[in-house]
Structure 1
Amino acid sequence: MTRFTLRRAFLSDMPIVARLNRHVRRTCLPYLPDLHTPDEDLAFFQEHVFPTSEVWIAETEGQLVGFAGARLDWLDHLYVDPAWHSRGVGHALLSAVRKERSELNLWTFQDNAQARRFYERQGFRLIATTDGSGNEERMPDVHYRWVRDQST
């Protein structure tokens, strides 16, 4: 089995991160509207993600297989190449993000059953559901929160 390594992202990783984000959304979330061009995706990561977030990447043999982006107590991005699903990449990225945090919140789409199962297995609890009027895609979503167990 091919192994992967984790590291903090460099600015030079931004284009491949934006491409993986687009690939995963189109492959795993085909019900979402395609609201942006690849250039707009890259601009979003350049203006809003890399300057404000802690970005981790998982790679193998120079190939990006997943990334996570978090700011303060919010996980804003966790995307894994579908070819690497169920191989520990998502768990490893989430562990890296949670390492220095006592709480972590996130939003995902209600229809994203795979992500919901993953987060629930990782100890996240459902906080709220919405009709999607507050997100760009206008798709119903859910708010999850994880809090570190203080007894350990």
Structure 2
Amino acid sequence: MWLHSFAAALPTVRCAHDEAEDHDRFARVLVPRYETSVADSRSSRVGLMVLNGKELKQLYPGPAWRGRSLDDRFVALAGQQKPDGLMLGTFQANAAARRFYERHGLVEVERADGLRNDEREPDVRCVWQPQTSYIIRSTAPTASSRRPVCSRPSFPASWASPARGRRRPSP
């Protein structure tokens, strides 16, 4: 699923690893070491999200599921699991992903030449920080006039059911 999603989203970017290497990396590194959430539909995997601390390492909805709110749900889940903030990298060539992350409140903080990623493709680092709560005061402050206006985002409870550490079946 990951390779199909990668190829659909990034047709001009060379995938640095073949299918066997990617399966091995997922089985030995990503799933056992990081927080892995998968989305299933009718006994098939349709999406994947991998978190490493505050870093969103992987977010790949299956090609048929892009733009159908699955990717939105994964970002919402990441925000719930990491309420103090997130960071991620994406390729500069992936304009759709950059627009998607911007819509979800992530801000571009760095552009790089790609020497830090396996594909050697120019990339972008983005961060999301929750809005800081602040106080509104009237001219005559009272206890009821001091209230937080902004806080962590609230997400529907139905979005908070990750399959942490679930191993992907071998193909």
Q: Which runs of structure 2 are paired with 1:30-41 in the superposition (5 Å)?
A: 30-41=11-22
CA RMSD of aligned residues (A): 1.2
- The worse-fitting range, judged by mean Cα deviation, of 120-129 and 142-151 is 142-151
Q: What residue number does 2:144 align with?
A: none
Mapped to 2, the partners of 1:130 and 1:35 lie a distance apart of: 18
The residue number in structure 2 matching 1:4 is: none
Map of 2:90 onto structure 1: 108
- In structure 2, runs of 5+ residues without a counterpart are 134-150, 152-171
Q: Are residues 1:60 and 2:37 paired?
A: no
Structure 1 counterpart of 2:101: 119
After TM superposition, the runs of 4+ consecutive aligned structure 1 residues lying more than 6 A away are none
Aligned pair partner of 1:50 in 16, 25, 31:
31
Q: Which has the larger radius of gyration?
A: 2
Give 1:47 deviation, angstroms.
2.0
By relative contact order (CA 8 Å, sep 6+), the higher-ranking structure is 2
Say if 2:128 is the partner of 1:146.
yes
Instruction: Please list every run of 5 or more consecutive structure 1 residues that lacks an aligned counterpart in the other structure.
Output: 1-19
Percent identical pairs in the alignment equals 33
The 3-state SS of whatever aligns with 1:150 is: coil
- Cα-to-partner distance string for 1:84-109 (whole Å, 9 max, x where unaligned): 11111001111112213111000000
Residues 58 and 67 of structure 1 are in contact (CA less than 8 Å); yes or no, is this contact kept in structure 2? yes
Q: Aligned partner of 2:120: which letter?
A: R
Of the structure 1 ranges 104-113 and 50-59, higher mean CA displacement relative to structure 2 is found in 50-59
The CA distance in 1 between the partners of 2:77 and 2:15, in whole Å, is 30
For 1:117, give the aligned amino acid. Answer: R
Task: Report the TM-score, using the length of structure 2 for normalisation.
Answer: 0.74
The two structures have a TM-score, normalised by structure 1, of 0.83
2:156 matched to which residue of 1? Answer: none
- Deviating more after overlay: 91-100 vs 134-143: 91-100
> Secondary structure of 2:6's match?
helix
What's the counterpart of residue 73 of structure 2? 92
The structure carrying a bigger strand percent of its residues is 1
Question: Which position in structure 1 is the counterpart of 2:50?
Answer: 69
